[in-house]
Amino acid sequence: MAEQTRKRVLSGVQPSGNLTIGNYLGALQQWVAEQDNYDCFFCVVDLHALTVPQDPATLRAKTREVAALYLAAGIDPSRASVFVQSHVPAHTELAWILTCLTPLGWLYRMTQFKDKAAKQKQESVGAGLLSYPVLMAADILLYQAAAVPVGDDQRQHLEITRDLAQRFNHLYGETFVLPEALIPKEGARIMGLDNPLVKMSKSEASEYHAVYLLDPPDKIRKKIMRAQTDSGREIRFSTDPQRAGVNNLLTIYQALTGASREAIEAQFDGKGYGDLKKAVVEVVVDTLTPLQERYQALIREGGYLDEILAQGAARASEVANATLATVRERIGLLPALTPVSSKS
Ligand code: ATP
Ligand code: LTN
């Protein structure tokens, strides 16, 4: 089969809120671009979302919504497997096995853990938040993924995944492919519109923080026109934290248009921040309108989406279970036999 000769990709997004243009530019846009180059697996990582409190009905609805957004963004289920993480139990089993190989020190060092734990009362921080990267490593290693397209914030998690793969390979013999992070050149770290010093995040509650993929055009306009800028005038890419707001708008514009920095700076030479914002509104609306139309059609025809997820989980299980069988054997778990009495 042609698929076996292609390297694999795996990536996922948590159904922990409304997907933002940060998720689109850091993850989805790259996934769509890579689906012809790799044998791709894209999952909705619902078990990761459980690491912070979730409402059950909302979690269920968001899981389907995120899957529909993958397809609406351009993931083609005839080329890529789209599935829900919890539908493939091998993920949790490998996660446990890897947990037993993970030094606590590696987990306490993770900046995402430190950031998310700091937002909660110390006694209510779940152990799942600490072991989050181990489950992510299991997601990736089960598929022998060579590349993992993610935003910049996931670099550290990819490093721990490689460290775990290396540790396992060293202890039990070559088993896992060491994955590389695939981080986009532009748009790998989109910042909050209301505060350009923090990463745009779907679980941030404030109204003007993020453009969501399903926001109607007037809302998109309002959010971008209110985006924080500075008191200067020059429209240039910059690493100066004082100018982070304008830099963020330029980055969004660049990642969506594919134009070069020079061309963009020339385009806005002598113009004001209002002109830049209007141009950003236009390209965001032009990108999201067709995506939203495809999304609405998928949600209306719910059965199609569920069938794609069922097929995706079946294909994912084949690959994941094969890896898990090797792992079980290597670490010395006794094979489970079918009782003779139940054989027909
Ligand atoms: P949460 O706020 O619930 O932790 P999140 O918005 O950070 O979520 P994730 O589900 O953790 O989103 O991430 C999904 C993918 O989107 C990852 O590849 C991540 O790197 C990418 N991503 C998330 N936020 C951004 C951003 N602001 N800029 C670029 N990429 C991003
Ligand atoms: N931790 C990731 C989500 C995630 C993921 C994965 C990404 C879970 N499992 C496997 C790539 C590959 C995040 O973006 N916060």
Q: How far is the CA of 228 from the centre of ligand 1 (A)?
A: 21
Q: Which helix (H) or strand (E) is 147 found in, with range?
A: strand 147-149
Contact 237, 186 (CB under 8 A): no
Q: In terms of Cα–Cα distance, which of 94, 122, 20 is closest to 327?
A: 94
Q: How far is the CA of 44 from the centre of ligand 2 (A)?
A: 9
| pLDDT attached to residue 259 | 96
Q: Which helix (H) or strand (E) is 80 found in, with range?
A: strand 80-84
Contact 193, 200 (CB under 8 A): yes
- If one counts every other C-beta atom within 10 angstroms of the C-beta of residue 193, the result is 25
Atom of ligand 1 at shortest distance to CA of 45?
10
Q: Which ligand lies nearest to the CA atom of residue 20 in the structure?
A: 1
| pLDDT attached to residue 344 | 59
Q: How far is the CA of 162 from the centre of ligand 2 (A)?
A: 14
Contact 44, 23 (CB under 8 A): no
* Biggest alpha carbon–alpha carbon distance for the chain: 83
Would you call 34 exposed, middle or buried from its count of C-beta atoms within 10 A (0-12, 13-18, 19+)? middle
Partners of 183 in the beta sheet? none
Q: How far apart are CA 70 and CA 73, in angstroms?
A: 5
Atom of ligand 2 at shortest distance to CA of 149?
11
Buried b / exposed e over 148-161, threshold 16 CB at 10 Å, is: bbbbebbebbbebb
Domains plus CATH for the chain? Answer: 8-183+302-331 (3.40.50.620), 217-297 (1.10.240.10)
Active site residues: 116, 199, 202
Contact 14, 67 (CB under 8 A): no
Q: How far apart are CA 99 and CA 79, in angstroms?
A: 32
Q: Is the pTM of this model over 0.75?
A: yes
Q: How far is the CA of 192 from the centre of ligand 2 (A)?
A: 20
| pLDDT attached to residue 343 | 62
Whether ligand 2 lies within 6 angstroms of the CB of 14 is answered as yes
Q: How far apart are CA 3 and CA 9, in angstroms?
A: 12
Partners of 270 in the beta sheet? none
Rg of the chain (C-alpha set) = 21
Which residues contact residue 197 at a Cβ distance below 8 angstroms, ignoring those fewer than 6 apart? 191, 241, 244
Q: How far is the CA of 23 from the centre of ligand 1 (A)?
A: 5
Q: How far apart are CA 324 and CA 328, in angstroms?
A: 6
Pocket of ligand 1 (CB under 6 A): 13-14, 16-17, 20, 22-23, 25-27, 150-151, 153-154, 188-190, 199-203
Per-residue confidence in pLDDT tens, the chain, 344 aa:
444 579 999 999 999 999 999 999 999 999 999 999 999 999 999 999 999 999 999 999 999 999 999 999 999 999 999 999 999 999 999 999 999 999 999 999 999 999 989 988 877 888 999 999 999 999 999 999 999 999 999 999 999 999 999 999 999 999 999 999 999 999 999 999 999 999 999 988 899 999 999 999 999 999 999 999 999 999 999 999 999 999 999 999 999 999 999 999 999 999 999 999 999 999 999 999 999 999 999 999 879 999 999 999 999 999 999 999 999 999 999 999 999 986 65
Strand arrangement of the beta sheet that strand 147-149 belongs to: 80-84, 39-44, 8-13, 147-149, 180-182
Q: Ligand 1: which of 10, 18, 21, 23 to mutate, most ligand atoms within 8 Å of CB?
A: 23
Q: Ligand 2: which of 38, 45, 202 to mutate, most ligand atoms within 8 Å of CB?
A: 45
Distances (CA, A) of 23 to 91, 153, 236, 329: 23, 11, 24, 38
Helix spans in the chain (H): 2-5, 21-23, 29-34, 46-49, 56-73, 90-99, 104-108, 111-118, 127-142, 155-172, 217-225, 244-257, 261-267, 273-300, 302-331
List phi, psi (to 5°) of 11: -155, 170
| pLDDT attached to residue 4 | 59
Token reading at 189:
């770290």
Q: In terms of Cα–Cα distance, which of 324, 186, 305 is closest to 256?
A: 186
